[in-house]
Amino acid sequence: MSSTGEIASLQHRIQQAVISVMVGGFGLPRRQVGELLARALADAGIPDQPAPWMRTAAAEIAVGRLLVLNTAHIPDYLEHAEPDPETHATG
């Protein structure tokens, strides 16, 4: 059984991998974002994640949504980020 500290560490590593993809993944095709996300997670030593989560995460990132696993791990510069209206559709 994992301790609370181990879970928090894992959440932090996953969130950092997600953020690294979010920074350059907005507007890319979902499949490409999914490949970037899989690579970032593998580079961070994160085990394979469930396919439904990976598809959903890639889709959210591709359309410019902030994907949050734990609000404690979101950097200030992303917490109040607004999507670029020229790049992202509203509504």
Percent of the chain's residues with pLDDT above 90: 41
How much is the pLDDT for 86?
55
Q: Which two tokens stand for residue 75?
A: 């950097």
What are the domain boundaries of the chain? 4-71
How much is the pLDDT for 75?
60
Nearest-angstrom CA–CA distance, 91 and 84: 13
How much is the pLDDT for 90?
43
Average pLDDT over residues 50-59: 94
Mean pLDDT of the chain: 80
The length of the chain in residues reads 91
pTM of the full predicted structure?
0.73
Q: Identify which has the larger pLDDT, 4 or 81.
A: 4
